[in-house]
Amino acid sequence: MFKKENNNVCRGVGDCVDKMDLEFEAIYQKVLVYIHKQEDLLGIKHAYNFVKVAFDGILRKDGNPFLKHLLDTADIVVDLQAGPNTIIAALLHDSIEDIEDITYDTVCNKFSKDISDSFIISIVPSSYISKNAMVQCIRLFSS
């Protein structure tokens, strides 16, 4: 039997799991049905862990953890059987805009050129990304 404690689900003494981890695991199980390349699977896990840390303790206006919104977005694209880069971008989509310590350079260095250039640029207001940062990132991944 599950009992709720804060943002955890507990199955017994010392066996608590974060609810967001459970939501991610459910999404990840759907991913495993159609994505099999280990590198892609690790990238998706990396993106989840990245935003889990970045958005830790941050709530939306409705009182839900911000991470839930990112997981809901990822769940939608997984239901559409989107590719790994789209899933990663769905998880990252508010990071530059809403987390002060995450910049375009951060995303560019931690994730692929495809994610940084095509998706992040298209959804993040240009005021969050300097032209110089975009040029540097493109050069970094083009070499």
Per-residue pLDDT, 101: 87
> What is the reported pTM?
0.74
20, 67 in Cβ contact below 8 A?
yes
- Give the three-state DSSP class for 66: helix
Is 2 or 29 the better-scoring residue by pLDDT? 29
Q: Is the pLDDT of residue 42 over 80?
A: yes
Per-residue pLDDT, 13: 43
Per-residue pLDDT, 98: 83
Per-residue pLDDT, 141: 45
By CB atoms closer than 10 A (0-12, 13-18, 19+), residue 125 is: exposed
Per-residue pLDDT, 53: 93
**pLDDT tens digits, residue range 94-126?**
887 788 888 777 887 888 766 766 555 555 555
